[in-house]
Each structure stands twice: as structure tokens, then as C-alpha cells.
Amino acid sequence: MIPIAKPWIGEEEKSEVEKVLDSGYLASGEWVKRFEKEFSSYIGVREALATTNGTQALILALEAVGVKNREVIVPSFTFIASATSIIRAGGKPVFVDVDEKTYNIEPEDVKRKITTKTIAIMPVHLYGQAANMDEIMEIAEDHNLYVIEDAAQAHGAEWRGKKVGGIGDIAAFSFYPTKNMTTGEGGMVTTNNDELAEKVAMLRNHGQKERYLHTALGWNFRMTNIAAAIGLVQLKKLDKANEIRRGNASYYNELLGNRVIVPYVDKRAKHVYHQYTIRVKNRNALIEKFKKNGIGYGIYYPRGIHEQPIMKELGYNAKLPVTENICREVISIPVHPLITEEDKKTVVKVIKSTI
């Protein structure tokens, strides 16, 4: 079986985890602080705050901004947590369409959806490519809005030479096992805004400003030292892993470019290929061939969030033609750093024999 994703875990991660176990300090502590410091330095921000997963990082960012009873503009072509985190934080997601080439948030549709209730725009750096942050930041400035980056799939991705997660007001990362780097489960909030960082720090720790003095209704969203130990090693591997992903993507581009729609890369962006996603008309036929040949694949995503039953039940409604069309055609193929040359040849051969 050729897996669609596989975490790059080695002896270094095991050794660092053993140090935590030997120390006896398993909860949030020294390793978490080191991980936060190194991650903030990598992204190029003043503050990085570790959490237990990426969804909770989004919720903390949204609560810190103060989205309760306000609207947040978000693309529908993404994982559902981008929208449900808004609802959990007391806000209302307003769904917009995406650019047909990059699959990222469409700035012109953002402009159309802004109302007096809008407080923030949440661009999602989908599949590892930065959204058009020039236009998003300009729109936000014109309308006095926050920009909350959903960077869950974009560790190390860049826009005009600046890493995502350090462009908007605040950002959220995920360290789920399929991501470009992992902590098993985990997340990170990044920001250059000291006030927002202070709110996140308080909210993730039961609303405490100091021990047993609770001034807000908070959560327990703290990362463990065990998770942070894995993250510290993974962060050191990240750039190399991303380079391998880009190399694998180039291989596919060269051999598949005349058969399928391969990923479009904005010249202003540095893509890190969390997913290598192609578009095909006869997706079901390709899926059957993948199954027969033991090739892992993913459909990210088969429907927009606005079409999910829970969103219909909650009264959300939208018509997003680009999103709806893309959802019928996308399929992702293995691009992770551990895929072999032989595996890539097999993937290409099967696609070419089908399309």
C-alpha cells in the first residue's frame, strides 16, 4: 500500500520523548516553552502559544479577537473546523468562494460579503499554498477588520518571502499526524499582537492571569511536554521535508501536466504541498484504479462546508459555484517525504493508464 500520508518519525523524536519521560514532567512545561520559542523564531513572530490541537488554536484566536455575535468571512472549500471554530467562539461564518486556480479565498467575493457585522477575514492557506495576502490585508485595512490566518496546512509556506502565520493579526497551525510536521496532536497560535497573545495565554489555561485567579471563562487547551518534544525535532526537519515535497510535486507536474489539471502555483507564493491535488473529470474511474493498485488517495474536499448537513440544519445557506465545481473534480495523491521513487512511478503509471 502506498499511503496518502505518513509522518516522518525517527530515533530523534523517540530520544527527545524519552527525556521528557525520564524527567517526570509530562504536562506543559520546559519543552513546551522551548517549542514555542523556536516556532515563533521560525515563523518570524513575537509570540507562539502551543495548544492541544489545531481546532482549539483557531477557537483561541477567534475568542481573543472577540468574534462573539459578529461575522467572520471564511472560504467554504476547506476542512469544516475553519467554520465550526467560528461558531464555537460565538461568531457567524460567512462563506465565500475560492479562486479556481489556487483554491484559496477569492478577494472579490470577500468584498461582496462584508457587512456592518463583519469583524474578521479568515483566509485558509489551502493544501500548503499561501492565500493572496496582499489583497486580503488591503481589504482588511480598508474596512478595519482583523485577519485570522488558518495556516493548519501551511507550515513553512511563504507569501512574498514572508512565512504565513506572521502576516495577519493572528494565526493558527495544526500538528495533526498528516501535516507537514506533527506533534501527534497539537496546535499553535502565532501573533505579533501582545494583547491578543495575552488573551490566548489566559484562555487556554482556565482563564487564569495568575495561579488560581480566574478572570475569564477559559479552557484547558495546554500542550504537553511529550507533544512538544516531538514538535521540537519535527521543526528541525521541516524545511528538508518541504523541499522533498516540492521535488515530488515537480516530478508529478512534469509527467502528469498533459493528462490532468496539476496544482497551480502563484509566483508570489512558496508552496509546501501539504497535499498534491489534481483535478480530473472521471474521478470515480481513477479511484477504482487506485484501490486495485494499493495507492492511497484523498478527496479534500467532496463538498463545501456550506453544503454540509449540519450547516443546513443550523440555517447557513450559500451558492458558491466555483467551490461546488472543484469539489466534484479534486483528488489528492501521495506527496509526503517518505514516498519512494518506485511508488511515484506507480502512481504516475496508474493515472496515465486511466486518463
Q: How many CB atoms lie within 10 A of CB 194?
A: 10
3-class state of residue 132 by DSSP: coil
pTM above 0.75, yes or no: yes
Residue of 175, 222, 170, 187 lying closest to 63 (CA atoms): 170
Q: Residue 84: what pLDDT? A: 98
Report the number of secondary-structure helices (H) and strands (E) in the chain. Answer: 12, 14
CB-based contact 31:45 (threshold 8 Å):
no
Indicate where the chain has its CATH 3.40.640.10 domain(s).
11-96+104-232
Mean pLDDT by 10 residues, the chain (355 residues): 97 98 97 98 98 98 98 98 98 98 98 98 98 98 98 98 98 98 98 98 95 94 98 98 98 97 98 98 97 98 98 95 98 98 98 96
H-type alpha helices, 182-333? 194-203, 225-256, 283-292, 309-313, 321-327
Residues in Cβ contact with 10 at an 8 Å cutoff, skipping those fewer than 6 apart: none
What are residue 153's phi and psi, to 5 degrees?
-110, 15
Helix 225-256 to helix 11-23 angle, to the nearest 10 degrees?
A: 170
Residue found by looking up cell 461568531 in the block:
91
How long is the chain? 355
CATH code for the domain defined by 11-96+104-232: 3.40.640.10
Indicate where the chain has its CATH 3.90.1150.10 domain(s).
238-354
CB-based contact 62:84 (threshold 8 Å):
no
What are residue 51's phi and psi, to 5 degrees?
-135, 180
| Angle at the Cα of 104 from the Cα atoms of 272 and 232, rounded to 5 degrees | 35
The matching CATH number, chosen from 3.40.109.10, 3.90.1150.10, 3.40.50.2300, 3.30.1280.10, for 238-354 is 3.90.1150.10
Q: Residue 209: what pLDDT? A: 85
Q: Residue 204: what pLDDT? A: 97
